[in-house]
Amino acid sequence: MNPKKVYIQAAEQISIQQPLSEEWFSAPIFYHDGFVPAVNPAFREYIAANEARRMGNLIKRALVTSLKVLRKTEIDHPDAIITGTCIGSLNCTEKFLQALTENGEQTLSPTYFMQSTHNTVGSTLGIYTKTHGYNTTYSHGEISFDLTILDAWMQMQLGKISTALVGGHEEMIESYFKLLQKTGYVGLDGMAPCSEVAMSMMLNTQPHTEDLCEIAGIRICNHTSADSLNDCIDSLLHEADLCREQLCAVMTGKNGNPANDKQYQEFANSVFPQTSLLHYKHIFGENYTVSALATYAAAHCLKEGYIPPFLYDTDRKEQCASPQNILLINQTKGQEFSLILLKKI
Amino acid sequence: MEPIYITGAGIASAIGIGKEETRESLLKGKTGIRKIQYLQTQHHEIPAGEVPFSNAEMAEMLGISEEPRLTRTALLGRLALREALQEAQLTSEMLHHVHFISATTVGGMDRRELFHAQEENCDKAHAIIAAHHCANCTEMIAEQFGHFASLSTVSTACSSATNAIITGANMLRCGMADIVVVGGAECLTKFHLNGFNTLMILDQQPCKPFDKNRAGLNLGEGAAYLVMESAESVRKRNVKPLCTISGYGNRCDAFHQTASSPDGEGAYEAMKEALEMAGLTPQDIQYINAHGTGTPNNDESESHAIKRVFTEKLPPISSTKSFTGHTTSASGSIEAVICIQALEYQFLPLNLNWQTTMDEGIIPVTDTRPSTEIKHILSNAFGFGGNDSSLIISKYDV
C-alpha cells in the first residue's frame, strides 16, 4: 500500500483567544483566573438567530468553526465528520442530572436529555450540513481529538475517504470546574486556566495552495515501558523518513500542574534533550480536548514558517528559525500517549 | 478485502453471562425483560433487560472485591472481556500488542447519581468518581487484564459498539494493529432510564419489535467484546477463527437528533456500504439482526430501509432486543455476539412478542430453524443523531 499524504487544508478555532482568528499568533491574551470561558464570536454571521437560540455553546461553537472551514475549503459535504469530545454536552448532562436530583423522577423534560449524548455535536454537524457520510465520535479523555485524526488518517490510507472534517470540542461550566478542581486536574495555583475549545479542521488527501501543513503520521500508545514509547516514536519518524536529530521541535501539553508536567519533562529530557521545546496550554488553557489546539497552533507555525517566541519553553535555549516539522505529544495520566507528526509543505 | 477474523467473543446481558447461557436463552425463547430489581428507581412500572446480579455478585464472579469506584458498566464489561480474551487464548503478557477499543455513553453515571446531591461538599475520592468519563470506563474495564497497546473509546449513543468494531477493523486493515479487542459496555442508570422515559418511547410491557401495536422499547444493560485479528496474526498464533467480519458501513441519517428519517436514508446507505465492501448482494444474506428497538419510528423507518436494499426478497429478520432489551452503547457488540452464535450453531434468533404485521411490514422470525445454511448475517445499529452503522458477519469456511 502506497502511503497517502494527508494535508490540513484549513482550521478554525474558538477558544480563550480571539475567536475565528489568528490574532493569538501575534498578540496572545494571557489569563490569571482558574476558569476562563471561551470568547464567543458573532454567531449570527453563521447561524440564524432562531436556530442559535435552541443550541448550547458547545454546539454553536462547533457548528461555526465547522461552517467556516467548509466555506473556506468549498467542500459542502466532506466524506467523513469525525468528532472528539471527552465530556460532550456537559451543560445539558448536568442540567438533566440536577433536575433528577432536585425534582425526582416524575417531572422531567426531555430537552436536556436529548442533547446530552456525546455524539450530539457530530450528528448536529451532519444534520445541519445534510452530510450523509461517515460520522463518528471519540470520547477518550485527553486524546479524544487525537483519535479523530487517527481515524481519518487510517481511512485515507485505506482509500475509503479523501476529505474529513475533524474537530475537538469541549465546554465547561463553573460547577463542573469546581468538581475537577477537587480532583486536582485543573484550578491549581500557577496552572494554565481551565478553558473551553471548539476547533474544526479539514483533512484532505489532495494538496491545495492554502494548506497549512501535512500530517506525516500518528500513533496512539499505552505507556507500558520506556521502550514501548521509544519504539512508537521511532516507527513514526521512520515512516516519515526522519531521524530524531532532524526533528525541529516538540510541542508538549505542559500546563503548570506538577503531576501533568512531570510526564512531559521526563519524556523531553530523555528522548529529545536537544530539540526545541514548545508549549501551548499557557495560551489556550487546559481542558480535555485542548490538544486540538496543539495541532491547530503547530500547523499555523509551519504554514508561517515561524514559531512565536512565547511558545518556546523558557528553560531551553534551542530555537528553530525555520521549522520544517513539529512533533506533538499529548498524554493522559502518564498512561497513554499520542504522537502526531506535522510537516511543512 | 482481506477478511478480518474473529477469534474470541464474550457477552454479558439479561439473558446470560457468557455465550452458552445466551445461546440457551435464545433457543428456548427465554427473555431477560422483567421488573427492575437492582437499579434504584421509582419507575417500578417500567420493565427492563437488567442483568440479574448485584454488583457484589458480579465482583465475586470476577474474583475481585467490590469498591465504591467500580461502576456497574465496568463489572459487566469485565465479565464479557474475560470470556473473549480466554476464548482467543490471549494472556495478560500478550496484551501489550493488542489494542482495546470500547464503547460507552453513560459510562459511570450509575455511581455518580447515587450521591449527586452531596457532590458540592464531597471529598477528592468522590469527586474523582463523579468526574468519571467514558475513557475512565474503558480503563476500568481493561485494568484487570493487563496493559493493552492502546485504549480508545467511541461514543455515538446506541451505535457506539458497532462503531468501535469498525474503528478496530480499520486499524487491522491499515496495519496499525494485528489484534484488536472491540465492543461496548453499558449499565442501566436512572439518568437514561428517565431520559428515555421523558421521550415517551419506553414500553411498559415487554417490547414488541416490528408489531403493528408496538409501543416503544425496553432498556437493557450488558457488554460484549470481540477479539479480531489479521490473517497473519491468526496464522502466527495458530488460533481457530469463529467467523469473519466481511463488511461494514457507517453513514449519517442527517435528519433529526432523536428520530429516524421516514425512508431510513442513513440506514439504507450503511447497509449498502457494508454489502458493497463485502462484495455481496442482498440475496447472499441469510439473516438480518435488526436494530429493531420497538419504537413506532425506528421499526417503520428501518423496515423501509431494509426493503429499499432487499426489495421484496427479504431474508429472515429479527430484533433480539425482545430478549436483551436495548442495551444502548453495548447493543452493537451484544448483537454481533448473538450473530456469531447464530452462525456457529446455525439457528435464527427469534423476535419475541410479535403478533400483528405492520402495514406493509416485515414478518420477523418466529421459528429458530433456518431453511438454508446461514453464511452471512447483516447486523444493524442506529444511534441518536442518525449515527447509523451496519456490519456483515460471515462464516469462517464460506
What average pLDDT score do residues B323-341 get? 98
Instruction: Check pLDDT > 80 for residue A316.
Output: yes
In tens, the pLDDT along A58-92 reads 999 999 999 999 999 999 999 999 999 999 999 99
pLDDT, position A56 = 93
| DSSP state letters, B34-83 | EE--SS--S-TT-EEB--SS-HHHHHHHHT----TT--HHHHHHHHHHHH
Determine whether the interchain pair A88/B192 forms a contact, defined as Cβ–Cβ distance below 8 Å. no
In tens, the pLDDT along A198-219 reads 999 999 999 999 999 999 999 9
Question: Could you report the predicted ipTM of this complex, rounded to two decimals?
Answer: 0.97
CA A320 to CA B61: how far, in whole Å? 57
Q: How far is the alpha carbon of B255 from chain A, nearest alpha carbon, in Å?
A: 5
A169: contact with B, CB 8 A cutoff: no
In tens, the pLDDT along B213-229 reads 999 999 999 999 999 99
CA A170 to CA A177: how far, in whole Å? 12
pLDDT band at A1 (very low <50, low <70, confident <90, very high): low
Determine whether the interchain pair A122/B387 forms a contact, defined as Cβ–Cβ distance below 8 Å. yes
In the stretch 102-131 of chain A, residues with CB closer than 8 A to chain B read 104-106, 108-110, 113-120, 122-124, 126-127, 129-131
pLDDT, position A334 = 85
Cell of A339: 504522537
Quick one: closest CA in A to B260, which residue? A127
Residues of B whose CB is below 8 A from A140 = 134-135, 138, 151-153
Instruction: Check pLDDT > 80 for residue B160.
Output: yes
Quick one: closest CA in A to B154, which residue? A138
Instruction: Check pLDDT > 80 for residue B387.
Output: yes
In the stretch 217-276 of chain B, residues with CB closer than 8 A to chain A read 250-258, 265-266, 269
In the stretch 107-146 of chain B, residues with CB closer than 8 A to chain A read 109, 112-113, 116-117, 119-120, 122-124, 127-128, 130-131, 133-136, 138-139
pLDDT, position B324 = 98
Helix (H) / strand (E) element for B140: namely: helix B134-142
pLDDT, position B26 = 98
In tens, the pLDDT along A268-315 reads 888 888 899 999 999 999 999 999 999 999 999 999 999 999 999 998
| Superfamily name with CATH number, domain A213-343 | Thiolase/Chalcone synthase (3.40.47.10)
In tens, the pLDDT along B178-201 reads 999 999 999 999 999 999 999 999
What average pLDDT score do residues B141-146 get? 97
Asked if the domains at B4-237 and B246-395 fall in one CATH topology, the answer is yes
What's chain A's average pLDDT?
95
pLDDT band at A317 (very low <50, low <70, confident <90, very high): confident
Residues of B whose CB is below 8 A from A185 = 131
A6-204: CATH number: 3.40.47.10
Please, are residues A59 and A76 in contact by the beta-carbon 8 Å criterion?
A: no
pLDDT, position B31 = 98
A44: contact with B, CB 8 A cutoff: no
pLDDT band at B281 (very low <50, low <70, confident <90, very high): very high
Residue of A22, A82, A24 lying closest to A218 (CA atoms): A82
Question: Where are the domain boundaries for CATH 3.40.47.10 in chain A?
Answer: 6-204, 213-343
- The fold of B4-237 is Peroxisomal Thiolase; Chain A, domain 1 (3.40.47)
Q: How far is the alpha carbon of B127 from chain A, nearest alpha carbon, in Å?
A: 6
Residues of B whose CB is below 8 A from A137 = 154-156, 387
Beta strands in chain A (DSSP E): 6-14, 80-84, 134-138, 163-170, 197-204, 213-222, 249-252, 276-279, 325-332, 336-343
Please, are residues B102 and B153 in contact by the beta-carbon 8 Å criterion?
A: yes
pLDDT, position A224 = 67
Using CA atoms in the order A16, A18, A24, A29, what is the torsion angle rounded to 10 degrees? -60
Beta strands A336-343 and B387-395: pairing type? unpaired
What average pLDDT score do residues A340-344 get? 98
The domain ranges of chain B are: 4-237, 246-395
CA A52 to CA B237: how far, in whole Å? 55
pLDDT, position A301 = 98
0.95 exceeded by pTM: yes
B150: contact with A, CB 8 A cutoff: yes
In tens, the pLDDT along A10-49 reads 999 999 999 999 999 999 999 999 999 999 999 999 999 9
pLDDT band at B55 (very low <50, low <70, confident <90, very high): very high
- A106, A154, A222 ranked by CB distance to B176: nearest: A154
- A118, A122, A220 ranked by CB distance to B150: nearest: A220
pLDDT, position A26 = 97
B384: contact with A, CB 8 A cutoff: yes
- The fold of B246-395 is Peroxisomal Thiolase; Chain A, domain 1 (3.40.47)
How far is CA B234 from each of CA A279, A325, B88, B238, rounded to the nearest angstrom?
43, 38, 10, 6
In the stretch 134-163 of chain A, residues with CB closer than 8 A to chain B read 134-141, 143-144, 147, 150-151, 154-155, 157-158, 160
pLDDT, position B194 = 97
CA B109 to CA B97: how far, in whole Å? 31
What's chain B's average pLDDT?
96
Give the rounded percent of residues in chain B with a pLDDT score beyond 90: 95
Instruction: Check pLDDT > 90 for residue B248.
Output: yes
Chosen from B174, B199, B219, B382 to mutate, greatest number of chain A CBs within 10 A: B174
Give the rounded percent of residues in chain A with a pLDDT score beyond 90: 88
Residue of A128, A135, A197, A124 lying closest to A165 (CA atoms): A135
In tens, the pLDDT along A238-250 reads 999 999 999 999 9
